[in-house]
Structure 1
Amino acid sequence: MEKETTSERIIEAAIELVSKKGYKATTTKAIADLAGVNEVTIFRNFGNKRGILNAVIQKFSYGPLLQKVIQEQATWDLEYDLYHFSTQYQNYMFSIKEYVLISFKEAGAFPEIDQEVAKIPLFIKQELVAYFCEMEKRGKLTDVDIEAIAMTFIHLNFGHFISRARLGSSVTKISTEDIFKTSISIFSRGLTP
């Protein structure tokens, strides 16, 4: 239990420091000081700064939530499920909006951030592909490139999130709910036999 508590303190300290100072200026020594641990404890728990970065990204990953939603709440009604997945995604992403925007600000200068962040959409893609494959087995999906529709669905959701997170309602006053009702309806009709 103590190890989890120590790891969590280290992760929280890293998040706070990266938010304030940026990734480059955040050192393992500064993280250790803020977390109230010895720097050796960081290396023992995470290996290095990138290990902490990976833990932070995993903490904020939507992938496990999507996996749980699919496993426990899928109705195998395409339009209903996709709307539900989108709603869950938007709610979650807006709850961590500040951290997502920080990761984009930092990513371009640090390839390791891009490499770690890329694991999130890869995991989400994997879960969506599994869902769409099951829909295809059930005869509820037209013969389409499943990876392509999974990526299209990811882009639809992430694109909306980024647009709203950065621009608010300056581009459109249409609510997120109405945008997704319309887009998911159109998307679903194009995939239904």
Structure 2
Amino acid sequence: MEQYQNEKHFSTEDKILLAAIDLMEQKGYKAVTTKEIATKAGFSEMTLFRHFGTKRRLLDAAVERYSYIVDMNNILKTNVTYDLITDLTMVSKTYHHYLKHNQKIVILAFQERNTNPSIGEKTAENPKKLKEYLIEYFKEMQRQDKILSQDPEILAMNFLWLNLGYFMASFISGDKVAVIPESIFIEESVKTFVRGICKEEVYSLY
């Protein structure tokens, strides 16, 4: 009996959905069969069909059920200090928290971006909110004359790509590429980013 069958607190649907996410992330949506998913979950293929009908419905249900949504705007706006290093460190930690909880679905969305774009739309909800928050944050920091006059959207995207790159390297290659621990990466990358956008007189205060 497979691992999901042994999780007594999981419902039949949960066990099937978790098995589907694991296998689809490993093999791709097209390559994995409903029989493989059912076997991994510890059920018959008939049970899978009875609960979900088709593989596509199974995929949609898995993404909907296990997409980890973070109320980023509330977290960030509540705790903003308008100190660049403090705030951008908080943004990085929040983003990595989201990525780690959603990692298999994020990778699945990347793999299936052409054949199943709806997965990408779902997983993009939090990053889009985070980008919007950062744009407004950088605009405010420009109003406070703390950072250079650059396009806030470009700044926001550069900061997000910086963190997404580390996540992708860690997930795909492990410590062969991402040899620096996450906490150290966040600390040092935030300092480097702030040094690049900060006015000299402001940066000298750090």
- 2:3 match: none
RMSD: 3.3
- 1:45 match: none
- 1:60 match: 68
Q: Which moved more, 1:79-88 or 1:10-19?
A: 10-19
Alignment size in residue pairs: 169
Q: Deviations over 1:157-189 (max 9, x none)?
A: 111111111111102422222222221111112
- 1:16 match: 18
| Residues 95 and 115 of structure 1: CA distance in aligned 2, closer, same or farther (over 3 Å) | closer
- 1:105 match: 111
- 1:43 match: none
The 4+ residue runs of structure 1 with deviation greater than 6 A are 29-32, 48-51
Instruction: Judge conservation of contact 1:11–1:56 (CA < 8 Å) in 2.
Output: no
Q: Which moved more, 1:174-183 or 1:161-170?
A: 174-183
Instruction: Judge conservation of contact 1:94–1:165 (CA < 8 Å) in 2.
Output: no
Among the aligned pairs, what percent are the same residue?
24
TM-score when normalising by structure 2: 0.65
- Partner of residue 136 from structure 1, selected from 107, 119, 142: 142
Q: What SS does the corresponding residue of 1:165 show, helix, strand or coil?
A: helix
Instruction: Judge conservation of contact 1:50–1:112 (CA < 8 Å) in 2.
Output: no
Instruction: Judge conservation of contact 2:85–2:190 (CA < 8 Å) in 1.
Output: yes
Residue identity in the other structure for 1:60: Y
Q: What SS does the corresponding residue of 2:149 show, helix, strand or coil?
A: coil
| Residues 91 and 33 of structure 1: CA distance in aligned 2, closer, same or farther (over 3 Å) | same
Unaligned runs of 5+ in 2: 1-10, 35-45, 200-206
Whichever of the two has the greater Rg, that structure is 2
Q: Deviations over 1:108-139 (max 9, x none)?
A: 32233334434443222111112212222222
Q: Shift of the alpha carbon at 1:17?
A: 5.9
- 1:70 match: 76
Rounded Cα–Cα distance in structure 2 between residues aligned with 1:73 and 1:11: 37
| Residues 157 and 20 of structure 1: CA distance in aligned 2, closer, same or farther (over 3 Å) | closer
User: Which structure has more helix as a fraction of its residues?
Assistant: 1
Q: What SS does the corresponding residue of 1:16 show, helix, strand or coil?
A: helix
RCO greater where, 1 or 2, for CA within 8 Å and sep 6 or more? 1
Rounded Cα–Cα distance in structure 2 between residues aligned with 1:11 and 1:78: 44
TM-score when normalising by structure 1: 0.69
